[in-house]
Amino acid sequence: MSPAPAHPLEEARIRVLAAADDRFYECGVAAVTVAEIRDTAGVSLRRLYGLFPTKADLVAAWLRDRHTTWLAWFANAVGEHIRAGSHPTDAVFDAVGDWLASTDFRGCAFLNTLAETASLTEEHRAIIAAHKGALADTLTDFAADPDAVAVLLDGAIVRSAALRSPEPIEAALRAARQLAPLTGAP
């Protein structure tokens, strides 16, 4: 059904990145060993190191991959809520609210990784900053003050992780509804 992978190498790369996303997000970068990624991906250590010469390289590739994937998921989820009748600003919070309520929610992967200062490279920091910038950019289509909505979203995400409850998204939505509306929106 899916297009055949160009190379066995490409296929291994995809499996490794999927394993990295699974393990790194659930347990944090520092807590996951390269051996665990190898086992989850079902590739040999040799191939893993051939694809990503160091663990830091793998982390960077994972962050880049998740940056793309998460924003795509987000745009799609917001679109679905809008199509289901939500006001654009509300839809943004509905989408994130769905995520917060999912059982495998573990906070924002980028903020979590940023907090693991131990082995973070400058490249990692740049990817994380770019992701948070891109989130605000995405919101330009849905809110009059995208930076303010981004603050509400990230605040709800981290407080939800800390308090272990999806409740903060409701406080965030209450606040968002009092913000100046998007001019010219339907």
Binding site for DNA (CB under 7 A): 32-35, 43-47, 49-50, 53-56
If the CB atoms of residues 26 and 170 are measured against DNA, the closer one turns out to be 26
| 47 contact, one of DNA, a second copy, none, CB 5-8 Å limit per kind | DNA
Which residues inside 115-174 make contact with a second copy, applying CB under 8 A? 115-119, 125, 128-129, 131-133, 145, 147-148, 150-156, 158-159, 161-164, 167-168, 171-172, 174
Q: Is residue 22 a contact residue for a second copy (CB under 8 A)?
A: no
If the CB atoms of residues 42 and 79 are measured against DNA, the closer one turns out to be 42
Distance of CA 56 to CAs 48, 112, 158, Å? 13, 15, 25
Distance of CA 137 to CAs 69, 90, 96, 98, 152, Å? 16, 17, 16, 21, 14
Which residue's entry shows tokens 């809008």?
82
Residue type present at position 143: A
Separation CA 77–CA 94 (nearest Å): 9
Q: What is the largest CA-CA distance in the chain?
A: 56
Which residues in this chain contact a second copy in the complex, by CB under 8 A? 27-28, 30-31, 106-108, 110-119, 125, 128-129, 131-133, 145, 147-148, 150-156, 158-159, 161-164, 167-168, 171-172, 174-175, 178-180
